[in-house]
Structure 1
Amino acid sequence: MSAKKRKFPEVYVKFGFTFIEKDELQLPQYVICMKVLCNDSMRPNRLERHLRQQQPTLVLKTKDFFLLKQNH
């Protein structure tokens, strides 16, 4: 049985995540530290938890803030 292949919704940018593709899987990548999480982590509650634990000062930042970071 293979792992579920989650697709990356653009709304996840509000948590500071974009994605990279590896072996036909979309993996969440944090735009601040560029850390790549496993495909199973691509759930809103897990992405938000990562943001709150790793970068608590960025929790109130807007989607536009993370889009700017993503493009740099």
Structure 2
Amino acid sequence: MAAKTRKFSEDCVKFGFTFIEKDKLQLPQCVICMKVLSNDSMRPNRLERHWKQQHPSLVLKTKEFFLLKQNQSSG
């Protein structure tokens, strides 16, 4: 049985994530540290864990803050 392939959801932005595509898979990428996680990490609780452990000073930031960071890094 193949593993479930997760798709990016706009809700992931509130945890500071966007996605990149690699080998037809969407992989979550942190807009702060640019770290790329596995497709299985596209679960909200795993994204939130990265966010709280790696970037605790940003826990109170809004979705709009992360959208701005995403736009700055892509353009």
TM-score range, shorter chain: over 0.9
How far is 1:49 from its partner?
A: 0.6
Percent of aligned positions with the same letter in both sequences?
81
Please tell me the root mean square deviation across aligned C-alpha atoms, in Å: 0.7
Secondary structure of 1:29's match?
A: strand
> For structure 2, which runs of at least 5 residues remain unmatched after alignment?
none
> For structure 1, which runs of at least 5 residues remain unmatched after alignment?
none
Q: Map 1:4-23; keep pairs closer than 5 Å.
A: 4-23=4-23
Instruction: Normalising by structure 1, report the TM-score.
Output: 0.96
Distance, in Å, in 2 between the alignment partners of 1:34 and 1:3 is 25
Aligned residues: 72
Instruction: Normalising by structure 2, report the TM-score.
Output: 0.92
Give the residue type in structure 1 aligned to 2:63.
K
Runs of 4+ in 1 over 3 A off after TM superposition: none
